[in-house]
Amino acid sequence: ETGYVTLDTGFVNTASCTSAITYIDGDAGILRYRGYPIDQLAGKASFLETSYLLIYGELPTADQLAEFDSRVRKHTLLHEEMRQFFGGFPRDAHPMAVLSSAVSALSTFYQDALDPFNPEDVEISTVRLLAKVPTIASYAYKKSIGQPMLYPDNNLGYVENFLRMTFGVPTEDYEIDPVVAQVLDMLLVLHADHEQNCSTSTVRLVGSSHANLFASVSAGVNALFGPLHGGANEAVLTMLNGIHANGGDVNAFVERVKKKEPGVKLMGFGHRVYKNYDPRAAIVKQAARDVLERTGGNDPLLELAMKLEEIALADDFFISRKLYPNVDFYTGLIYKAMGFPTKMFTVLFALGRLPGWIAQWREMINDPATKIGRPRQLYTGSPERAFVPITER
Ligand code: SDX
């Protein structure tokens, strides 16, 4: 009941774990967090509300959410010595590399509460991660543009605090655009969890050795960095900019994809599980229109993206391979319209995925039956042979 064997293709494919957190039906394009369909949460439940749902299993009451929110706000500051940490990176360091390093470093500053089997340690580590990762993310960006890092302002909401630390400067007030904050909050909800994707499985696998939460999540950040996973939103913008720079001929680009030119894929398309339209992509596409209208950006790249989608959805090469837009296809355009540089796009994905990583790690620690076992292999190497001394080789 936990998997199946497909010997005809020469490998054993079993369900890697059980989990009660997120359900995906790839053929029907269904995504549910703790039973709630994603389209009922996006735009209605805040990111902290959704984080509470994923981590504790139920939607919070107003009092529960207020208490959770106030606990998170209390921990947005980084240890003062950690601010120097950012000075050690080169200015052009990729913010994902800074993020994974800084998250790992949290286990050096908070050594008092790292025991995965002490519920109080797990609780404070959960809150510290949710609270400090936006601060770390904004500092990684400030470092790259040589601007001073702002202390968090705990009078602000979760997303508003992050926007101010990212785009604000000490010399003037920062005015938060409520629509940008609301859309960013919704995008974080859309990214909050996604079953056993590459980075979440990484967090579980590292955690299964009883590594602490910070070490496990740092590993997840590194897995997300890859262009086939979280790095795809950055790769989509690189792809669209390339098409735009070559005169905007989307048909010529699609032909290159179909010819399978090395390194040429339609980034933001395809999915290991969704063999139908990624339910998140539909929501993001509408948000892209809303934000671009709001920010007045009639971004030519959005036109290109929509043309690419239109062509691909009508072309048998993509249809026969069940390649549809995934969550990454439009998100980069929104982040760009919000003022984020391309290098920050995957950091925003990590910010969103954080509660999912935490919830899945906690589930695995609390219930070893949900542990991802040690991956099995089918050996295809040499049969046994006798050692030959180097003088005879
Ligand atoms: C995320 O797992 C998750 O849940 C991930 C995620 C999450 O929320 O955590 O949803 C986030 O990672 C979304 C995916 C973002 N990545 C990209 O957009 C990168 C481009 N996509 C591909 O690399 C690819 O589609 C994958 C890796 C996402 C999925 O690959 P699959 O399902 O394993 O498909 P495959 O690699 O076996 O390819 C099947 C065929 C191949 O052609 P043939 O050998 O059959 O001729 O489809 C082709 C592939 O070459 N193909 C593509 C393609 N994706 C697959 N061809 C062109 N463009 C693409 N994007």
Give nearest CA residue, ligand 1 atom 37.
272
pLDDT of residue 5: 43
Query: Which stretches does DSSP call E strand in the chain?
Result: 3-6, 11-14, 22-25, 30-33, 36-37
Residues that are catalytic: 271, 328
pTM: 0.92
Judged by DSSP in three states, 53 sits in helix
Q: Which of 16, 284, 326, 351 to mutate to test the pocket of ligand 1 (most atoms within 8 A of CB)?
A: 326
Cβ of 271 closer than 6 Å to ligand 1, yes or no, is yes
- Please report the ipTM that was assigned to this predicted complex: 0.95
| Contact present, 354 and 129 (Cβ < 8 Å) | yes
pLDDT of residue 297: 67
| Contact present, 224 and 351 (Cβ < 8 Å) | no
Cα 171 → chain centroid: 32
- Walking along the chain (393 residues) 10 residues at a time, the average pLDDT comes out as 43 70 94 97 97 98 98 96 91 95 96 95 98 97 94 97 97 94 96 97 94 98 94 93 94 96 94 90 88 78 92 95 93 92 96 98 89 84 96 97
Closest ligand 1 atom, CA of 278?
Answer: 10
pLDDT of residue 374: 80
Instruction: Round to whole Å and give the CA distance between 267 and 240.
Output: 9
Of 159, 162, 188, 160, whose CA–CA distance to 176 is shortest?
Answer: 160
pLDDT of residue 6: 42
Classify residue 205 as exposed, middle or buried by CB count within 10 Å of its CB (0-12, 13-18, 19+): buried
Of the CA atoms within 13 Å of residue 312, those in its CB half-sphere come to 27
pLDDT of residue 351: 98
Give nearest CA residue, ligand 1 atom 27.
228
- Using one digit for the tens of pLDDT, what is the confidence trace for 16-69? 788 999 999 999 999 999 999 999 999 999 999 999 999 999 999 999 999 999
Instruction: Round to whole Å and give the CA distance between 253 and 268.
Output: 14
